Amino acid sequence: MATVATRKRKAAIAFEPELAGPGLRTFVNIAKRWDLSVKEQLILLGLISESTFYKWKNEANPPLARDTLERISYILGIYAALQILLPQASAADTWIKRPNTAPMFGGKSALDVMLAGNVGDLYRVRQYLDAQRGGWA
């Protein structure tokens, strides 16, 4: 009989494990383009352990938590929206680190907002970009 802790752990694992590997690999490629440090990547993924991060990078389909998969989804959406809004690759890739005067950023960069560590911060940046390109916010 499974313990409560075991059931909770299994419930936290992504429902679609086949998305974990490709999602994480895509996240790592985006992180390279955005020139993110390992520490910044950990924060965006909602991770504490650097060793877990490196272990996941070496697995075909790592056991990502739903929260981590959701965070990756927002990052992919942010990346895609930037490619549409700023078709020049260098402009799209550096936008997240540039100070932004839009009210939601208050002079901070999008990366500063996302590095607050909450999944809601990633959502807010994604929502902002979707609104900028005429999508639903």
In a domain, 6, yes or no: no
Query: Which DSSP symbol is given to 134?
Result: T
Q: Averaged in consecutive runs of 10 residues, what is the pLDDT profile of the chain (137 residues)?
A: 51 62 92 96 92 85 88 96 93 95 95 95 96 75
What is the distance between the alpha carbons of residues 68 and 28, in angstroms, rounded to a whole number? 13
H or E segment and range at residue 67: helix 66-85
In a domain, 88, yes or no: yes
In a domain, 7, yes or no: no
Domain count, the chain: 1
In a domain, 49, yes or no: yes
Count other C-beta atoms under 10 Å from residue 46's C-beta: 16
pLDDT at position 133: 84
For residue 107, the enclosing domain spans 17-132
In a domain, 12, yes or no: no
**Does residue 63 contact residue 15 with C-beta atoms inside 8 Å?**
no
In a domain, 24, yes or no: yes
